Every structure is written in C-alpha cells, then in structure tokens.
Amino acid sequence: MPLPLPRSFTYFVPDGLSGQIQKGVRVIVPFGARKFYSAIVQDIHERNSTSYTAKEIVSVLDEHPVVNDLQIKFWQWIASYYMCTVGEVMKAAIPSGLKLESETKVFYNEAYVQYDELNKHEEEVLNIVHDKKSLPVGDIAAVYKRRDMMRTVQSLVDREALWVEEVIAGRYKPRFETCVKLHSEMDSETKLKTAFEALEKAPKQLEILMNFVRLSGVFSERPHREIAKKELGNPSAEALGALVRKKILELYPREVSRLNCQLSTANCQLSILNSSQQTAFEQIREAFIGKDVVLLHGITSSGKTEIYIHLIDEQIRQGRQVLYLLPEIALTAQIINRLKAVFGNKVGIYHSKFSDAERVEVWNNIGKPDGYSVVLAVRSGIFLPFDNLGLIIVDEEHENTYKQFDPAPRYHARDAAIVLASVHGAKTLLGTATPAIESYYNARGGKYGLVELTQRYAGMELPEVHIIDTALARKQKKMQSHFHPDLLTAIDETLKAGKQVILFQNRRGFAPYVQCRVCEYIPRCEYCDVCLTCHKFPDRLVCHYCGYSTENLRQCPACGGLDISDVGFGTEKIEDELRIFFPHAQIARLDLDSSRTRSSYEKIIASFEEGKTDILVGTQMVTKGLDFVNVRLAAVMNVDNMLSFPDFRAYERCYQLVTQVSGRAGRAGKRGRVLIQASKPQHPVLQYVIANDYAGMYTSQLAERERFRYPPFYRLIRLTLKHKSKDVVQLAAKELAEYLIQIFGQRILGPETPLISRVQNYYLENIWLKIEKQASAQKAKTLLAEAISNLRILPAYKSLRVVADVDPV
C-alpha cells in the first residue's frame, strides 16, 4: 500500500478477477471505512485466516506487471536499511501518474424533496452541487470558503439532499491522435480506381484521397505507413466524413508518445580512446572480473565520459541495460546529446522536470522488449523497472545531491545503486575527479576496484589556481563591492580575448538577509527559525525552508526607520553587479530560481555552450561535470562560507566544489585560470586545491575522521524529533536519549538543538548514534525502532514525529 505502514495486507480475489491477478500489477483495494487506493500485488497465496475477514479486491488496473520481483526485493532492502516502510518506498518509486487515490465526490440527489426549510449556508452549498450534479469536496471548498463547509455538507447528506461516494481518480492518460487508413473493403487497386472515378464530381473528397494515397504508398512497392489526419493538410471534416460514410477511408486512434524523439537514429561512431583512456578502460574491465564496484578517479577533463560511452556500448552489444546516474538535472541537457548521437533512441531520460505522463511513458518503455537500453537519470532512476541491468554508472559520485533528504525514504542513490546492481547481478562504476572519502577509503582498502586517470584529454594542462586575499583588500579599501580588483581585471581580459567566464557563488537569491541599520532588526520566517532571503526578481523576502514569502522591507516594523540594507550576496546580486561593471557582456544565471522548468535550464546551458552568453553565474549547478570548451576563467566568489560551515564534511566538500569549479576552465586550447576569493589564503584546504593534491586532503581528513569517530570508520544515524511545542520536543528528546544511552552507552550524542531549530512550525531536536563498522547495524536499527515506538506510545508524545536518517550527509 502507498502508505507509511509497517506491513503488507491480504485481500480476497473474487472469481471474476482470478485470471487477471499476477504479481506486480496494480489493483484497486478498499482501505479503512471509505478510502480506496491502488496497491501492488506482492504475493498470491491460498492461506486462510481465522483472525480477520479479507476484503475483496475491487479491480485490476494492468494487463502486465508494472513492477517486477527484483524491484520489490530492492524496495524491501531500502525500507530495512533506511528505517522506513515499504509503502513509503513504493510512493517514492512509482511515478505519480501510476498512483491512483480515491477522492470524495458529492452528488446531488435528483429525487430530493424538501420537507423543511434549509438555512442560508445549506442552500448555498446545495446550489453549488445542483448546478454541476457532482463535485469533488475540494472543488466545493474552493467556491464555498467557510470553515464549517464539511458540517454543512454532512447536514445535507443527513437530509438526503446529497450523497457522497469515494471515486478513484486516475492521473495518467495515454495521448492519442486520429489516423486514416483505407477501409477494409478497399482491398484491391481496382476498387481504389473505381473510388477515384466516383469522386470526380467531389473535388474536396478527391483531393483528400489523392493526398492519402501519395503519403501512405498503398498498393505501391514501397512499404506503406500510418498517416495521421493532420498530415492530410487539415482536411474538411465534412469531406472526410463523406469518405468514411462511403467506406473508402476509415479513422482510428493511435497512441503517441509525449517524449521528444529527436535524434532518433545514431549518427556518430564511437570515438577512439587515447592511450590513457584505453588503459583505464581495460583496467576497469579487468577490475570488474573480481570486483562488483570500481571507482574511476579521473581528474577534471580527463575524458571519463568517453570511457562511459565505450562501456555502455559493450553492455548494449551483450543485450544488457545501463543506468547512467547524474547528480543534477542540468547535466542531462549536455550529456543526452552525446549519448543520443551514438545510441539514438536507445537512450531515455528520467527526472522530475518531466511531466507525470512523460515519466509514466519512460517507465512503461523500459519494460518493453524494444525499450530503452540506456536511461540517463537523477537519483530517482534507481527505482525504474529494469529487468536485465548490466551496468550502473554513478557520475560525480561524491555529490551530496544523490542523497534524498525529505520525505522518506532518505536513501543515498550511490549506495542504493550498488545494492541494486548486486540484486541484478550487474556491475557499478563510480566516476569522479574528487571522490567521497568513504568511496576512496573502500577503493584503497580493496573493497572496490580502483582505476585512476591522471592526465587531461589531448594533453591539456590543468588551470593555474590563484587565491585572492579579500581580507587584505578590504583593509586597503580596494574591494569594489564584492569583487577584488584582480578578479575584475581577469574578467575584462577574458572577455576581450573572446572567451567565457564562470562565477560560482554557493547561495541563490539577492542577499542572505536584509537589516535595519538603526535598530539591527532582521525579518525572519514566521514558520522557521531562519532569516528571510532577499530576492530581487520578484522583489520579495523568501524562506528557503518552507517557501513562505512576504514583501521586501521598505520601513523597519520595529523602529520605523527607513535605512534598510541588504547583507551578504547571492547569485542574483552578482549578476546585477556584473551588468554594471560589464554593461556590454551577455550575462546569465544558473540556479534553482532561474531553472525551474525543463526548458529554462536547457536554454541557459545551450546559450552558454553556443557562445551567446559571456558570463555564467551559478550555484553548485555550474560545478557538476558541464563541458564548455570556450571557458578560460572560473572564479569562486566566497570560499569562506564553505570552510567555516559547522560540519565534519565541510573541508572535504569545499575541496570538491572548488576543484570541480576549477575543472570548468581551460578544457580546450590555452591553459585556463581559476581565481578564489578568500579571507584566509593560507588555509590548508586551499593549498591542496592549488597543488591539485587530493591524496593530501584525503590523508589529513582521514586522520581526523578516525580520531573523532566519523565515517568511514563509523556509521552515523541521526534521529530528529519534531513537535509544535518546544517544551514537548525537548522533554521527549531528553527521555529518548537517556533510554538509548542505557543501550548504546557513549555511542549516543545529544540531544542537541540544530542550527535551524524550527522548520514549518515544528521545533527540532537531534540525537546522534555512532556505530562501529564491525558492529551489527541492523541490530542497532531494530533497537532504535523499538525505543522510538515505546516513546510514541506515551499519551504525551502521540503527535511527536521521529525521523531516522541513516548515513546523513
């Protein structure tokens, strides 16, 4: 069931449906007093129970299974490992278009006779339903905006003026177009010739028939094809109808795809790998003989994608499927063209910017014998219904966007992909220029295979990296707004040379917050314990945690002062100031705000790739594997925030982000340049970046991790307690922590109040569990689940929410 329930349920199969039931199909089942849901058949058995009476299945939705046994086995592993229910995994896994849920519909009783007087509110609701005959409750609420709406509806139901029913609402509907074919009686060339003669006095009908014959190729040597009605040049409905009545032509519906099928055939051959790539390719194949997982550690612009393409080609030739995971939707815009140029329509794309209907079509296509052989996807791609998976490629495997934060299941796609591959008997390739410390530790320790690419493609040099001291520049009053003069000079020189620039700022919006200079008042979110971020377009203050927004501050509500200033800077502000410094440059911004639709991010990337944009400002989206040959300069606007973030992974992430930004520069031709604005230029992490010394960063961080009991030496589980009362959540956290300390001892840390202590009106408290690698993680999770269950049984904590996050990032 698509519900957060810890078990599955048994239903009775009526005789009329027994021939249609099979594992993996969707069925409509009643649940509770009045609800209906679409559920997945997990098993079929004949075991009777005396403890309950099984309800009947209402209907079967599918002729063929929409999920297979391997998927259900994978769902069960995710539920067990990440401490959630299989129902929550199912809800995350299946596209919304395949999930049906019941909605309450209100119907007008045509036989209603009014015996007593209705009040004003009852008459109003009755008139609303009477006009439409039936309406969903939500539609009535949208028109009749009163809190007592349901009480009024119930009163009318009691009077038998209305009646209610649960109606199953389906979401996915195939798209059809009208096609034209010869009538079945027109089975010879002679009959067709007779039809032409009969239409001599009906020129419009004759023209339609001639167009059809010319386009379809009927009775000719070439194979005829299906003809859509629109291909006949918008024919007159009357003339076409006459041809149908005369049994010359027939109309029929044809299902058509919503997916873009451009580049339908492969038009490029596999490129020839250079010596370094070929060596790495052969080492990967050799490592796969003894290892199920291989880490490809290749410096930026070393040609990892070409190696992936050769590995994909090998799997397709063996008749196997390939899942190619990317951390960011923006990356698919570039890589899909490279893959489709080689593999044509064997390549599919799957991510959240697709509509529900498009995702259902991709889902259904994978299960077909002639379906996609390669699917390019973000983290949700691990749930697709593969049945012959041979290889999973996890590109940029270090990225934290592979982690699902909310809602459950809070899985990490990289780790889950490794398990998915093992379920299918497939192999996993992790690729990156800056591996996660856990992945590199596993590779160095022999758990994974390790292949390294140390040379850039075509002998290109790594960019020269310079640290710009912003603290000194501020003292000397040389900073121009948020730009060091050296950075402005470098941008100017790059633009004059006809090259492009990428600027990275890891914060979207115009400014992190605004402040009254008189009394230092800062506007905060009404529902979260955070400052509101200033956005220039639209001119509003926005909470990035819950979405709450309000008008920008014009006058201080605390002191009435008018001296309001913005503090700090985001991508919007950088873009704004660049237009002042470089008025003739074409500037674009790539962040969550500017790329909310599928077409918007594709346009931004295509424009920059084609050289129409000179400067691209962005958040982490610009750091992840994008390949722009004309970029000469990359710059990090503010590295201090990353280095000072209170997290044990802060230095690792800072190294990864800055190195990835550096990798965007100088990917063709002359050597690129990288400028990093920092107030502490001698910081060890920045020195590792300058020297491109991943091994040095890894060694230093590994020593700290071991000393302070962090991954990869320990497993982490974070329990987050949520309640609308601050006192209740603090008391509950204290009780739970004291109980867990009795079981786990010093492995328990907390409770502690997180930096953001309230989100969406829920107060938060965290408890951390650190488990040794050699200890049983499953036993620890069982004990945690029992402790949480025992706590929530208590009357005071019934509305308490406890969220378990396994392997948080």
- Given a contact cutoff of 8 angstroms between Cβ atoms, the answer to whether 705 and 711 are in contact is yes
* CATH architecture for residues 714-806: 2-Layer Sandwich (3.30)
Rounded to 10°, the helix 69-81/413-424 angle is: 140
The predicted pLDDT at position 100 comes to 66
Helices within 348-400 (DSSP H only):
356-366
The predicted pLDDT at position 101 comes to 61
Q: pTM for this structure?
A: 0.83
Most confident of the ranges 204-213, 339-348, 573-582: 573-582
The predicted pLDDT at position 60 comes to 86
Of the CA atoms within 13 Å of residue 473, those in its CB half-sphere come to: 19
Looking at the DSSP bridge assignments, the partners of residue 431 are: 296, 395
Tally of CB atoms within 10 A around 561: 14
- Given a contact cutoff of 8 angstroms between Cβ atoms, the answer to whether 423 and 70 are in contact is yes
Using DSSP's 3-state secondary structure scheme, residue 365 falls into helix
Condensed to tens digits (0 to 9), the pLDDT of residues 287-296 reads 999 999 999 9
Residue 784 tokens read as 């945690």
Q: Which of 255-269, 331-345, 578-592 has the lowest mean pLDDT?
A: 255-269
d(CA 17, CA 32): 22
Distances (CA, A) of 425 to 294, 323, 329, 702: 15, 14, 28, 32
Residue predicted with more confidence, 337 or 373: 373
The predicted pLDDT at position 263 comes to 41
Using DSSP's 3-state secondary structure scheme, residue 526 falls into coil
What DSSP line would sit under 4-30, residue for residue?
A: S-SS----B--GGGTTT--TT-EEEEE
Residue 309 tokens read as 């393409």
Q: Dihedral (C-alpha) 222, 227, 230, 232: value to the nearest 10 degrees?
A: 50
d(CA 9, CA 41): 10
Domain 464-507+586-704: CATH superfamily is P-loop containing nucleotide triphosphate hydrolases (3.40.50.300)
pLDDT band with cut points at 50, 70 and 90 for residue 806: very high
CA 682 to chain CA centroid, nearest Å: 38
d(CA 266, CA 316): 13
- Given a contact cutoff of 8 angstroms between Cβ atoms, the answer to whether 495 and 582 are in contact is yes
Residue owning tokens 């999930």:
99
CB within 8 Å of 159: residues ≥ 6 apart: 112, 118, 122
pLDDT band with cut points at 50, 70 and 90 for residue 85: very high
Domain ranges of the chain: 102-169, 175-256, 275-456, 464-507+586-704, 511-568, 714-806
Closest by alpha carbon to 712, among 771, 634, 790, 633? 771
Average pLDDT value for residue range 439-463: 89
Residue 69 tokens read as 């046994």
Q: Is the dihedral of CA 179, 184, 189, 191 positive or negative?
A: negative
pLDDT band with cut points at 50, 70 and 90 for residue 41: very high
Q: Is the pLDDT of residue 115 over 80?
A: no
Q: Is the pLDDT of residue 677 over 80?
A: yes
Fold assignment, 102-169: Arc Repressor Mutant, subunit A (1.10.10)
d(CA 554, CA 570): 20
Average pLDDT value for residue range 298-319: 92
pLDDT band with cut points at 50, 70 and 90 for residue 757: very high
Phi, psi (deg, nearest 5) at residue 695: -60, -40
Average pLDDT value for residue range 536-561: 90
d(CA 13, CA 35): 18
What DSSP line would sit under 397-435, residue for residue?
A: TT-GGGB--SSS---BHHHHHHHHHHHHT-EEEEEESS-
Question: Across all residues in the chain, what is the average pLDDT?
Answer: 88
- Given a contact cutoff of 8 angstroms between Cβ atoms, the answer to whether 502 and 618 are in contact is yes
Average pLDDT value for residue range 192-209: 89
The predicted pLDDT at position 667 comes to 72
The predicted pLDDT at position 264 comes to 47
- Given a contact cutoff of 8 angstroms between Cβ atoms, the answer to whether 734 and 767 are in contact is no
Q: What is the 3-state secondary structure (H, E, C) of 574-613?
A: HHHHHHHHCCCCCEEEECCCCCCCHHHHHHHHHHHHCCCC
The predicted pLDDT at position 333 comes to 66
Kindly tell me the number of DSSP H helices and DSSP E strands found in the chain. Answer: 24, 32
Helices within 225-350 (DSSP H only):
237-245, 275-290, 304-317, 329-343
d(CA 699, CA 703): 6
Average pLDDT value for residue range 26-35: 80
Peptide bond into 463 cis (omega under 30): no
Encode burial over 517-540: b for 16+ CB neighbours within 10 A, e otherwise.
eeeebebebebbbbbbbbbbeeee
Q: Give the rounded percent of residues in the chain with a pLDDT score beyond 90.
A: 55
Does domain 275-456 fall into CATH 3.40.50.300? Answer: yes
Q: Which of 224-238, 414-428, 713-727 has the lowest mean pLDDT?
A: 224-238
Using DSSP's 3-state secondary structure scheme, residue 761 falls into coil
Q: Is the pLDDT of residue 353 over 80?
A: no
The predicted pLDDT at position 330 comes to 62
Q: Is the dihedral of CA 543, 546, 549, 555 positive or negative?
A: negative
Q: Is the pLDDT of residue 598 over 70?
A: no
Q: Which amino acid is at 18?
A: S
Q: Is the pLDDT of residue 274 over 70?
A: yes
pLDDT band with cut points at 50, 70 and 90 for residue 485: very high
Residue 380 tokens read as 């949700």
Is 714-806 the same fold as 464-507+586-704?
no
Residue 1 tokens read as 């069931």
